[in-house]
Structure 1
Amino acid sequence: MNKAAKIYVAGHRGMVGSAIVRKLKQEGYSNLVYKTSSELDLRNQSAVNTFFESEKPEIVFLAAAKVGGIVANNTYRADFLYDNLLIASNIIKAAHDFKSEKLLFLGSSCIYPKLAPQPLKEEYLLSGYLEPTNEPYAIAKIAGIKLCEEYRNQYNCNFISAMPTNLYGPNDNYDPQNSHVLPALIRKFHEAKLNGSKSVTLWGTGSPKREFLHVDDLAEACLFLMDNYNDSQFLNVGVGEDLSILELAELIKDIVGFEGEIVHDTSKPDGTPRKLMDVTRINNLGWKAKISLQEGIKSVYEEFTSKYSA
């Protein structure tokens, strides 16, 4: 990317978008443009078109999405499908119509079938049934991938897609009802420690295995792909290692310093049994994750306590 290029980061206030903005600024990119959701409703095609016509961004990072954990995904199913379909289709079409040079669409590992072989290779997309609890979100993300592919096929647009694994990091969502598992556990253990509780309840059996990528590593991968990748095949972005939810809980328990026990609420769903990304393709291009899970959780716990302990 040219340092002077006009770059639009959609979703710049979210965990992923803010990490991309931080990385761009660190690397000396200063011609950045973004709008808050109150300033620009990305579900409104006319508003998105007006923005693109006015700003004419050369580079687009599509990190905007309606996101949440298992409960949110399963409760607001229509909203997750509708909003994410509109966001992706409006921005991708506007990037074509107003001649953006390159676009990166960010999806999610939930695009893969629930029972796909592990680790998850890119070619497993659409090879089986999705996990029911987050199927609407997954379908919207699959649609985004296919839009990028077909705008490339039909119009020769340089639109690429990356599928990150489970993310955590600065600006994460710690809401007890709508957050993902890692920040939810940080909050649970922290509050239990403060309250002197004797136990923390873990949803499900704790047996599902998950992979976790620090969002700063993802941001580095996004810039790497914008500089080095121009093919139609979407790429997985992850660390290539996973652990069980129970192991994650025990790690967070140790970092937080909670001395009680972990109990299980097996009435809650486990979700997909395992989601480990095959990151061979992006590793072979020259990018690998750098931040260890223990190091990353320690840093986000420090951020959490500085913001939420008042």
Structure 2
Amino acid sequence: MDSKHIKYFENLIGKDNAKFDKAHQIAYCYDATKKRYEPDGVLFPRDENDVSAILKYCNENNIIIVPRGAGSGFTGGALASSGGVVLSFEKHMNKILEIDMQNMVAVVQPGVINMDLQKAALEVGLFYPPDPASENYSSIGGNVSENAGGMRAAKYGITKDYVMALRAVLPNGEIIRAGKRTIKDVAGYNIAGILIASEGSLAVITEITLKLIAKPKFKKTAMGVFPSVNSAMNAVYKTMAAGVTPVAMEFLDSLSIKAVEQKFNKGLPTDAGAILISDVDGPNLDVIDGDLAI
């Protein structure tokens, strides 16, 4: 990268937040796909104004920008496959700004870790359902940019179902707000919906307003043992057709059961054709027991 660009970024956000050394190029060159593309540098914006200035400068100087959360995705959205600079939110823009209990919303910066938000919501009796497999380290900004799902998706939906509003920066540096923090928002274009799952290709998300729901009062887990894969799949169909929507259903075939039992010795029935492990939640134990009985 041209030294004049490096000097601009260092003057804008400080040398501690503008890194062009080999170590940072290697550290930010891969994601969960394990493919490797070294960026020219890594920038750590301190706030939305930094993001705006960076995008404006890069747009004027034809420098590629790659927004990056935790780098846990499998789609390559965080990879600098054509060079340019990685824009990372993990260092500064990683705060839960607000949890509004009355309106049941959370306002977060893109670098907030999914599990940290879940825990903060649970502490005040609220619940943020989207739970991607990477929930312990993936960022909310990355979840929104990839429209992440998770085990609870069947009952509670995926990330897009909880995004109420976004703040974002367009490629020319203009700051926009899309959506509202109200449940009913029917006027105008659904700009927030367009930005969800766009992987940073349309704008850089700088703030996210998320819907929270009441924390489920009770939860139970049950395991069903079946002689074959087909009988287990029929049980899934019959469960859903009966009007019961489990929080999650995990399926293991006979090979998976034996592999898990060999590795962890959990007491699983190794002679089973398949097993289904189901999580069910509800307002009281009678409802949960009724769902499990079905």
- The answer to whether the superposition gives a TM-score over 0.5 is no
Taking structure 1 as the reference length, what is the TM-score of the superposition? 0.28
**Structure with bigger gyration radius:** 2
Larger helix share, 1 or 2: 1
Larger strand share, 1 or 2: 2
